[in-house]
Structure 1
Amino acid sequence: MSIRIKNMDALSRALQQFPLRVQQNAAKRAVRQGVNVLRDEARQTVRRHSGKLAASIKTTVSTRGNVTIGRVRLKGEHAFIGRFIEYGVTAHFIRAGAKKGEQVHSGSGDAMKIGGEFVTGTILHPGFAPRPFMRPALDSKGSEAADAVRASLAAWLSKGMPTAPDTTDDEE
């Protein structure tokens, strides 16, 4: 998903007066401000047990040509759990001690601990409903993130230019 920023044309024209490397650095700084808004909201929204999933919500910013891309993504110790939480899990079978494609016999001695008790053999995991946190962060704070990008660029440009472009919203 991408976010469109109003009056970005004026900011882009003003940025083009600077060398490419300076433009890219300013754009990266501004986009980072925007994705940080989304990251912070996702961290606030995610259901917490240990806080490790919230800590795995990270941001990255990269530049490809004249396009700067900001991402909020899951990376770290509990990142893999984030997909399960965001999209939910359907009911499925779990085999204690089994590797993928391997048969488990109840008398094999393989066991796993669930809810404080050891179980063996195959059990049915009931699954759970999704508890999204990434998409709601974008939905609720997307415009605030875009405003942060615009404000960061405008502030940067006002330092380097005698007259910064007008960044107020157009009337619709």
Structure 2
Amino acid sequence: MATETTLEVLGLKELDELLKTLPAKIEGNVIRGAMRAGQNVIGAAAKKTLAANGNIHTGALQKSIRVRFVRKSEKKYGWVRANLIAGNKEAWYAHLIEFGTGSFYAGHGTTSKKQPYEIRPKYRKSLFFSGLMREVIVHPGIKPQSFMRSAFDANNERAVLAFADYIRTRLPREIKKVNQ
């Protein structure tokens, strides 16, 4: 069940007018830094959520949580997009932890048996798994263990405050540089 969060931010019109007086490069740098500050709050919370759930084996999933900025080929001033990403070559399974896996795969196409997935040997009579011989291995699936969404839901207001604090501290320095 999704919950709706309402957050009111005041002063955006004034901030937009102030940013338009600055060169576009400085405007983009300030906004990118502010977005990174806000995303880092949520990323740190996601790492803590993983640790609290006991999902740390190698630490690769925690290390893979990062902020990425999307660059467009056509330069649109005033548009900056940042994504908080989990997963890389080492932690390719991030989406499986976040959303879980289904256990109802029939093994042939997209049909479903609505029961746990059974792994049967194709050519032999038994499988060697975890040091034991088995005829069938039942894979029940993985329950969703949301770490990104729960971090966002719990920390979105703190992220907006971090965004605002970054702008509050950096913008006067940039204006001073331009006016010198």
Q: TM-score, normalised by structure 1?
A: 0.74
Where relative contact order (Cα < 8 A, 6+ residues apart) is larger, the structure is 1
Q: Residue type of the partner of 1:61? A: F
Name the count of aligned residue pairs.
Answer: 149
- Cα distance, 1:5 vs structure 2: 4.1
1:4, 1:24 → 2: CA distance? 23
- Cα distance, 1:39 vs structure 2: 0.7
Percent identical among aligned pairs is 23
- Cα distance, 1:68 vs structure 2: 1.3
2:95, 2:101 → 1: CA distance? 9
Measured at CA, do residues 33 and 4 of structure 1 come closer, stay the same or move farther in structure 2, by a change above 3 Å? farther
Question: Secondary structure at the residue paired with 2:17?
Answer: helix
- Cα distance, 1:119 vs structure 2: 4.5
Superposition RMSD on alpha carbons, in Å? 2.4
Per the alignment, residue 130 of structure 1 pairs with 144
- Cα distance, 1:50 vs structure 2: 2.0
1:7 equivalent in alignment to 2:11: yes
Per the alignment, residue 168 of structure 1 pairs with none
Q: TM-score, normalised by structure 2?
A: 0.71
Q: Deviations over 1:76-121 (max 9, x none)?
A: 244322111111122223456xxxxxxx2225x8x553xx324466
Measured at CA, do residues 82 and 75 of structure 1 come closer, stay the same or move farther in structure 2, by a change above 3 Å? closer
Per the alignment, residue 68 of structure 2 pairs with 60
1:157 corresponds, among 142, 162, 171, to 171
Q: Deviations over 1:51-73 (max 9, x none)?
A: 11111111112355221112111
Per the alignment, residue 131 of structure 2 pairs with 117
Moved over 6 A (4+): none
Of 128-137 and 69-78, deviating more is: 69-78
Instruction: Structure 1: give runs of 5+ residues left out of the alignment.
Output: 97-103, 163-172
Of 49-58 and 152-161, deviating more is: 152-161
1:74 corresponds, among 61, 78, 86, to 86
- Higher strand proportion, which one? 1
1:22, 1:95 → 2: CA distance? 60
- Cα distance, 1:4 vs structure 2: 7.0
